[in-house]
Structure 1
Amino acid sequence: MSIKPSGTRGRRLDPDEQVAAAFTSGLLPKDISSIDCNPVRSKLARKSQLKYDNEYVLWKAYKRKFPGADPRNMQCMKHFAELVGRSTVGRLDEEGRATVKTVRNKVRVFMAQWERVNHLSIPRVVHDSMVPYIKDELSDKIPLSTEEKAPTFLTIQNYLEMEELLWQGDYHNYIHEGSRVDLSTLLKMHCYTSARLQEICQAKYKDLVCIVAWKDGEPEIKLSFKREKCKNKAESQKKPKHPIYERLDPAPPLLAHPLLFLLSIIISSNAFKNYRTVDDVLSARAPKGKYRIMEWAHDALDIPVFPEMSMDGPTEKAKNDASWGKQCSEWAKRAGFLDGMGLHAPRREELI
């Protein structure tokens, strides 16, 4: 309902009239006691919410043992931080000690969740004291491990060995042969873009824009990958985009070309509106000096680009990002990457 009363066309309301008009509809309460006084915090993503909830469970157990516990108290917060450090089992340390980084993260998440649940704030001095306390005092007192997971890098040789295994000698029992195409394409997406697991796995065709244009007098297909599932960008219209080009310089071998494998998935899914075969796609042309959008079929817009596979083929469910991360690491192990591989490793300039 507009607050602009009749007869005011061309004239702005003065502040008193604006206030009066806001109450005219009767929807704005005059008594502010009906409005809660809790601070408003940004909404957590589903996975983040699970993480925050899990960290709060330990506090509930601690609270049952110490009913008067309050993390706004410096002594209490230090005591609880020590409990976190002593009760967390580490994976990097041979003796199972938690790392400084892990304990810092757990304590940080707990404090944030406590403030969310209780609608109160932990004093800044307590909050800021936890990092040096954990790093400088608890690390010696417990002691905590200072180990950090060494970064892994996917070299060109590693990449070739993974692809060779996948297509020529992989003993893994894939639920459907289409899985091999998807796995190879997903790995290439991580090599050629900086997108996160969820952003790639959850992509639907409406998130992609495919065009045919011209480059140096030759037709070229380009695919723009808009990352709707992007961290901290849920409310922004400016999503990161990663164009993938047909003509790269220097040109990679076909086995490492991301667009070739993406097109095979797109064509097999009948995702194009007007192009059904490889010949149709390769024959597409734009007017000279311009480009043409290769439209998606209407019924393909909400289909995941990388679906979960069943014995009968692709399903309507998007590939689980955690599952893909584990599958890729296991694939790397079978190819001789002894410690597995996180999906930051493929972001290598040599492959681009």
Structure 2
Amino acid sequence: MGKKRTAEERRRHAEENGFDDDDTDVDDNPVPRDVLDYTKEKYDVQMELWFEYKKTYPKATPHKLKTLKHFAEFMAKSIKGVLDPKGMPTVQTVRNYFRCFVSGWNIDNPKSLISRDHTDSITNYIKGPLKKKLGLSTATRPRTYLTLENHMYMERQLWQNDGHEYVHDGSRVLISGKLKCHVFTSARVGEISEGESRRGTGKGLRYKDTVMLVA
């Protein structure tokens, strides 16, 4: 471990690296986190619903719990449920849509954030009073798993029926290995293979940078 530097020594080092007292190139605005375009599109859909709500309630503000409760009800009423026989949306769907709205608002309005306390309160409202008032559904989609028959179909398609001419001879082996990776791992395979929701992000491994051992 090197000798501990004093604060004065560190200040001199910062100045030698170009730091000065001019702070005109920075501002006091909060900085929202970066989100993928696909995610931002989901946020924008709920923001559009908020603007539609504002046409009827022009003085509405998301910083009042009463307004947020009313908007959550409006949001729930606007959803066509798929899992419920009566067409009612599920509690989870309403919660997800509301979270998208909050995220969209906070990104677009960094100086006027919706507080975490308000968000938590509306989550409890959706799960409790609103669920009871509207009869929101608690149905969930049944989990589906890849069967051995499905897997064999994919392998036959790849090795017997795929007429694509691959640039690299090993590509077909790699694809087969990656299919098995998707089947046998619970990890985020989107970090290995670029997923639809991460298209164009540069996430995922390239063929020439990948070494895969298949036993």
TM-score, with normalisation over the residues of structure 1? Answer: 0.47
The residue matched to 1:245 in structure 2 has which SS? coil
Distance 1:86 1:121, change over 3 A: same
Q: How many residues are aligned here?
A: 195
Question: More strand by proportion, 1 or 2?
Answer: 1
- Within 5 Å, which residues of 2 pair with 1:20-99? 22=15, 25=18, 28-29=21-22, 35-99=26-90
The residue type equivalent to 1:18 in the other structure is R
Cα distance between partner residues in 1 of 2:4 and 2:14: 14
Q: Which residue number in structure 2 is paired with residue 137 of structure 1?
A: 129
Asked if residue 18 in structure 1 is aligned to residue 27 in structure 2, the reply is no
**Structure 2 segments unaligned to the other structure (5+ residues):** 166-171, 195-203
CA RMSD of aligned residues (A): 3.6
TM-superposed CA distance for 1:104, in Å, is: 0.3
Distance 1:197 1:94, change over 3 A: farther
Task: Find 2:189's aligned residue among 169, 192, 196.
Answer: 196
The residue type equivalent to 2:113 in the other structure is S
Cα distance between partner residues in 2 of 1:26 and 1:165: 62
Task: Find 2:164's aligned residue among 159, 172, 178.
Answer: 178
- Within 5 Å, which residues of 2 pair with 1:167-316? 177-178=163-164, 187-193=179-185, 194-197=187-190, 199-201=192-194, 202-209=204-211, 223=212, 244-246=213-215
**Structure 1 segments unaligned to the other structure (5+ residues):** 1-9, 171-175, 210-222, 224-243, 247-352
Cα distance between partner residues in 2 of 1:51 and 1:163: 31
Contact 1:99 1:144 survives alignment (8 Å): yes
TM-superposed CA distance for 1:17, in Å, is: 8.2
TM-superposed CA distance for 1:198, in Å, is: 6.8
> Which structure: larger Rg?
1
The residue type equivalent to 1:154 in the other structure is L
Contact 2:102 2:114 survives alignment (8 Å): yes
Percent identity for Structure 1 against Structure 2? 32
The residue matched to 1:149 in structure 2 has which SS? coil
Asked if residue 122 in structure 1 is aligned to residue 114 in structure 2, the reply is yes
Spell out, residue by residue over 1:35-61, the C-alpha distance to the aligned partner (whole angstroms, 9 max, x if none): 322222221123222222222111122
Asked if residue 113 in structure 1 is aligned to residue 104 in structure 2, the reply is yes
TM-score, with normalisation over the residues of structure 2? Answer: 0.72
